Amino acid sequence: AMATVARDRLARMLRGDAESAFSVELTASRDDLSLEVEGVGPVTFPVRPEQARELLGLGQPARFGRGEETLTDPGVRDTWEIPKHLVRARWDDKALDVLLTTAKDELGLPIAAELTADLHALLVYEPGQFFRAHQDSEKDNAMIGTLVVVLPSSHTGGELVVRHLDEKMAYRGSRTDLSLVAFYADCRHEVAAVRSGYRIALTYNLLLGGDTA
């Protein structure tokens, strides 16, 4: 996959249309990630409704940043957040490296820079829950964007909509695979209301290091 990405990118550059994206969607095998949550144990994929409800039991109403403040307002953000210290998300290193390198290329970031993902939260949306359009607060100087990993489950609604200027992209999760969306921190984005089932997602801060010229 890596060689293909590099070749495609080179071809685009030679044609003069190395248009980099503001958001990128990637798919990964559910075997690439193992997830354990203290109080629930190993999370199996696709996540079953019973297990989603157990996770909900550990959740707190998710907060959000507005300027310097951190607020809770279910009219803006209505979802459950499981405290990060209870979450152990272990990726197959090779798989995560490929995903982050691909995301880096698609987003048009410098080839020599290094993109890393720092776990931020585990979120569970039950039917009727949503997150209105907002922009993520940059929690770290190196933070350039956000990575959302939607875990496989049977749910309807809950699309992630990412906007930049007058463009918008809508992403929906998968019943069988890990569905990843990476986007720049200056993008406004929202999660549409979940209609049925549970939308369960890990969010990461994307940090750019190394040679970022």
In a structure prediction context, what are the per-residue pLDDT tens digits for the chain, which is 213 residues long? 555 556 665 655 555 555 678 999 999 999 999 999 999 999 999 999 999 999 999 998 877 676 667 777 778 778 999 989 999 999 998 999 999 999 999 999 888 889 999 999 999 999 999 998 877 766 677 899 999 999 999 999 999 999 998 899 999 999 999 999 999 998 999 999 999 999 999 999 999 998 766
Q: CA-CA distance, 101 to 123, in Å (whole number)?
A: 25
Residue 72: what pLDDT?
A: 73
Beta bridge partners of 66: 69
**Which domains does the chain carry?**
2-210 (2.60.120)
pLDDT of residue 2: 56
Cut 0.85: pTM above it: yes
What's the mean per-residue pLDDT of the chain? 88
Q: What integer pLDDT is reported at residue 73 of this predicted model? A: 77
Q: Among residues 141, 117, 113, 115, which one has the least CA distance to residue 213?
A: 113
Distance of alpha carbon 42 from alpha carbon 32, whole angstroms:
14
Q: Name the token pair of 99.
A: 């995903």
In the three-class reduction of DSSP (H, G, I as helix; E, B as strand; rest coil), residue 120 is classed as strand
Question: What are the beta bridge partners of residue 190?
Answer: 161
Distance between CA atoms of residues 94 and 54, nearest Å? 31
Please give the pLDDT value at position 7: 62
